[in-house]
Amino acid sequence: MFIGSIPKKLITQILGNIHLKPRVYIGCSGSFRTEHAIKNLMPDKQVYGNDVSLLSCAVGNLLTGQAMDVSFSERLEPLNLLRGDALANTACVCLAITLARFKGNNQYSKAHFAHIIRNLAEYHRVEREKLLKYTDGFAIDGFHAGDFHDQISAARENDGTVIMFAPTYKGGYENIYKFVNGCTAWPAPSYGMWDPENTESLIQQLLDDNQNFAIVSDRRMEAVEPRIMFAGSNKPIYMYANDARSSLRRDERKSQPFRYQIVDHEKINESSLVEIVLLTTQQINFLKNIYLAKGINHKAGMMNFGVLVDGMLVGAFIFSMAQFGDKIHNIYMLSDFSTTRHRKISKLIPMLATSRDVINHVNRQYVIDIKSVYTTAFTDKPVSMKYRGIYTLAKRGEGFLNYSSAVREQSPQDIFLTWYRKYAN
């Protein structure tokens, strides 16, 4: 439910390489993962959280022994019957966010929304138990609901350390929480809209002020060198600090070799049979080490699929949760690759990724309702030849192209025939 949490391994890396003052001020707490780690490893430190989102503010109040008033209207009004103490109210907020996943007007979303409402008391009980487990033995020394710049000021005034992972794209929280915020009344804090383009100037200001800080970002700054790099995905994360030991951490990806039949592209014909199979993370890592660019620590996805034609492995694709926007109806294709460069088989793989059969499997596994698939081609060219004609160009940026496709209401075999007749010869 939380957005943009710092990876646990990166938190460990940061805490092992920077000096923390007695008071630590966290900006943009999110899931309070950093606070939890500091309290576990350094219980003598005073830790103060901060955020502006409804859920984080509710949890922040819970962790400081405070209650937050909240009430619900419109489609979320039934939650009012379950309000009470701080724990009950926070559980209601958790349920509001769960219900927001099924706010759509399609039959799938309506059925799930109605099911939760019918069983609201039981769902609320489960959320309470999760929160009790989450907060057991964990408390923080203060929480500020408001702009993270206030937190920076508090750290400066109280000779403390600032640790922060600011939002990586503008307006992300506002878009994701739009439905919930529209149906919820609570003492929402005022704050300025953060533009990630200002991260470097913020870091420079902290350096100029000689402030003790650690700022985490997914951007490599032009004029400021990072002290720590965490290469746990295909997009490294950097930490900038006024005083820290240099550190590089790269997650090792375990791979599992397995037997597969190498493709003979000349044997593929109109009567060939296509099959899509699930692959484990270790198996997909094995294939990525062979067929993808070397020297890149490719990010793990949530589901991996291999594509077989007449039993021959012709490629694979990897899905991840949507990075932006509607995470219920969109899914991100993290990677797709073919095991041969012949006969435009590279087009077949992303086409098959949009098959209704494949998408239904993902929907059942994650209780979502995917309508479209999108992906990114990293190139300076005006179009990607692989996706041209099969996906729609959604956005052109500096060094990348975003492509999307609606789910194809076809079986994998039907999509294969479409590909064969249009591209294979």
Q: Is the pLDDT of residue 298 over 70?
A: no
In order, the DSSP letters of 335-350 are EEEES--GGGHHHHHH
What pLDDT digit, counting tens, does each position of 229-281 carry?
776 555 677 888 887 554 444 445 677 888 899 999 999 999 999 999 999 98
- Distance in angstroms (rounded) separating the CA atoms of residues 14 and 212: 14
Residue 148, SS3 per DSSP: helix
pLDDT of res. 365: 80
- CA–CA gap between residue 29 and residue 26 (Å, rounded): 6
Unique residue bearing structure tokens 């033995």 = 137
Check if the beta carbon of residue 151 is closer than 8 Å to that of residue 144. Answer: yes
Segment 18-69, tens digit of pLDDT? 788 999 999 999 889 889 889 888 889 999 999 999 999 999 999 999 889 9
State the CB neighbour count (10 A cutoff) for residue 384. 18
pLDDT given for residue 241 in this prediction: 86
CA 383 to chain centroid, in Å, comes to 27
Per-domain residue ranges of the chain: 8-250, 261-424
Give DSSP secondary structure letters for 204-254.
HHHHHTT--EEEEESS--SSS--SEEEESSSS-EEEEESSB--EEEEPPPP
CATH number of the domain at 261-424, please? 3.40.630.30
Identify the band that residue 221 occupies on the pLDDT scale cut at 50, 70 and 90. confident
Q: How confident is the model at residue 2 (pLDDT cuts 50, 70, 90)?
A: very low
The pair of structure tokens assigned to 377 is 């081609």
| Cβ within 8 Å of residue 197, ≥6 positions away | none
* Beta-sheet strands, E only, within 290-371: 303-309, 312-321, 330-338
Q: For the beta carbon of residue 419, count every other beta carbon within 10 angstroms.
A: 20
Q: Is the dihedral of CA 26, 31, 37, 42 positive or negative?
A: positive
